[in-house]
Amino acid sequence: MSHSILLKNADWIITMDSNRRKLYRQDVFIEGKVISKIGEHLEKTIKPDKIIDATGKIILPGFVNTHHHCWQSLVRNLPMVHGLSLVPWLHLMYNIFQDVSPEVVAAGATVALGDLLKTGCTTSIDHHYIHPKQVRENLIDVEIKAAEKLGIRFHPTRGSLSIGQAQSPDSHVPDTLVETMDDIMIDSERLINTYHDTERFAMVQIGLAPCYYGLDSTADLMSETLKMARHHGIRCHSHLAEGKTETAYAIEKLGCRPLEYVEKLGWLGEDISYAHGIHFNDEELKLIAETGTGIAHCPTCNMFVSSGVCRVPDLLELGATVGLGVDGTASSTSSNMMTEIRVAYLVHQLTYGGRGPSPEQVLEIATRGGAKILGRDDIGHLAEGMAADLAMMDWSRLQYAGGKNDPVACIVTSGDARMVDTVFVNGKMVVQKGELTMIDENSEANQINDVASEFLEKAAVRIDGLNRH
């Protein structure tokens, strides 16, 4: 028998439905995994198992994070990374990543996905491409277990690296992180058969994600990966057009720009998404839009490593599919979707002025846009029959007083993590009063700090200046 919950008398319900309705003083009725009804005074006609007073709250769809590297949570705030641009930052990170273990992956996923939940995000992708030769455990499986423990809807992508420094002097990738194509394909097939759920309201769906950046994967691997993905009806993901050096390298070594290269490999379409997408020219933007290829906008990371600013206003004008991504926390410094939303708004006000996306457009990117990138029609907006994935924002607190003129603008331009009160995923309350309900946060934090210390101590033996003390 399914459990039912009535969220009663919300100040505002921001539906993000096809009409972008904002409902004043109405209720949301949840039955099991599903939003059963939205309307006024529902208590008069239904008998829920539980009633939650939503007075002083804004209810909106849970955010959808479209790009991440969860394991990077344990390498934040290293003094030696400050001021590094993308390429030297990558060299350092790959050197550190050689020591990734199942314990590191589990800890990183717990931090990253927990942070996402606490900041209103209910669904997240992850791009995990670090598979050290000395690690026999299946690291994607470890992430899936962490997501299940926290209660977040999860889209892990099986990343891969097939070109290392032994194959190319231009590679960022140590040979210890390089896999054979056979090993990659076998594990990809295993993950799809074991975890990929095609049912509506699925909590786990697998994607495939060979790394393109720096030409870290062979053309054969990218082609075979795409063939496997389309055979199984799953989605593909990678990085593209993140830095100017990437474009220069592709022109010199391949005789074409990065987008042209992936186009030749068939890597465009509604089942494909790319993180960053900064350095596209006008014709390339049109091609992205025409093919339905998704772009995961990661503004905080792009600023941190001085990559540039994605041309989001131009993409939106062309009708392209754009989502929002926090990216790996080694570069974004947190997995905070509230921060990412605010930065996404502000960076385009700075670079585009009046052409920057409105608060509602930014919120749409963070919800409906992300759902479309993941190929989901059961999340991303609130309506009867949709998944009960929603966040309740408390705007009754002092810091929001005097700023209640527009609930959308309050969230996008004034909101922060303190605003997130309650989060539901598939009808289950996973955040209550700003705290995770499925784990003991203090106990987990202590254990994760120990794992992080041991991880970085191992890397410090190999990397000068990494000592944190």
| 284 Rama class: left (phi>0) / alpha (psi -120 to 50) / beta | alpha
| Lookup: tokens for 252 | 């010199």
Q: Are residues 47 and 82 in the same domain?
A: no
| Lookup: tokens for 194 | 């074991």
Q: Are residues 32 and 100 in the same domain?
A: no
Tell me how far apart the alpha carbons of residues 264 and 219 are, in angstroms, rounded to a whole number. 10
Q: Are residues 49 and 177 in the same domain?
A: no
Is residue 280 in some structural domain?
yes
* 93 compared with 12, residue with greater pLDDT: 12
What is the pLDDT averaged over residues 293-298?
Answer: 98
For 207, half-sphere exposure in the C-beta direction (CA atoms, 13 angstrom radius) is: 27
Tell me how far apart the alpha carbons of residues 158 and 210 are, in angstroms, rounded to a whole number. 8
Position 213 scores a pLDDT of 58
Is residue 113 in some structural domain?
yes
| pLDDT tens-digit readout, 229-280 | 999 999 999 999 998 888 998 899 889 999 999 999 999 999 999 999 999 9
Is residue 231 in some structural domain?
yes
CB 115 within 8 Å of CB 333: no
Q: Of 210, 208, 137, 207, nearest to 178 (Cα)?
A: 210
Q: What is the CATH number of the domain that holds 237?
A: 3.20.20.140
The identity of residue 376, as a single letter, is R
**Residues whose CB falls within 8 Å of the CB of residue 139, separated by 6 or more in sequence, listed in order:** 100, 102, 105, 128, 130, 131
Q: What is the CATH number of the domain that holds 35?
A: 2.30.40.10
Position 467 scores a pLDDT of 59
- For residue 175, the surrounding DSSP H or E stretch is none
| Lookup: tokens for 27 | 């209720």
Q: What is the mean pLDDT of the chain?
A: 93
| pLDDT tens-digit readout, 372-412 | 999 999 999 999 999 999 999 999 999 999 999 999 999 99
What is the pLDDT averaged over residues 415-423?
Answer: 96
Confidence of residue 35 (pLDDT cuts 50, 70, 90): very high
| pLDDT tens-digit readout, 195-211 | 999 999 999 999 999 98
Confidence of residue 313 (pLDDT cuts 50, 70, 90): very high
Instruction: Please state, for a pLDDT cut of 90, what percent of the chain lies above it.
Output: 80
Tell me how far apart the alpha carbons of residues 2 and 351 are, in angstroms, rounded to a whole number. 49
What is the pLDDT averaged over residues 410-431?
Answer: 97
For 82-86, 122-126, 277-281, 451-455, which range has the lowest pLDDT when averaged over its residues?
Answer: 82-86
CB 249 within 8 Å of CB 212: no
Confidence of residue 170 (pLDDT cuts 50, 70, 90): confident
Q: Are residues 327 and 234 in the same domain?
A: yes
Is residue 247 in some structural domain?
yes
First and final C-alpha spacing in the chain: 55
DSSP states of 199-242 as a string? STT-SB--EEEE--GGG-S-HHHHHHHHHHHHHHT--EEEEES-
CB 17 within 8 Å of CB 382: yes
Confidence of residue 332 (pLDDT cuts 50, 70, 90): low
| Lookup: tokens for 379 | 């999340």
Confidence of residue 86 (pLDDT cuts 50, 70, 90): confident
CB 67 within 8 Å of CB 296: yes
Q: Residue 43's domain spans which residues?
A: 4-61+393-434
Q: Are residues 10 and 22 in the same domain?
A: yes
Confidence of residue 81 (pLDDT cuts 50, 70, 90): confident
Please return the burial class of 75, using the count of CB atoms within 10 Å of its CB with bins 0-12, 13-18 and 19+. buried
Name the domain count of the chain: 2
Q: Are residues 185 and 317 in the same domain?
A: yes
The identity of residue 47, as a single letter, is K
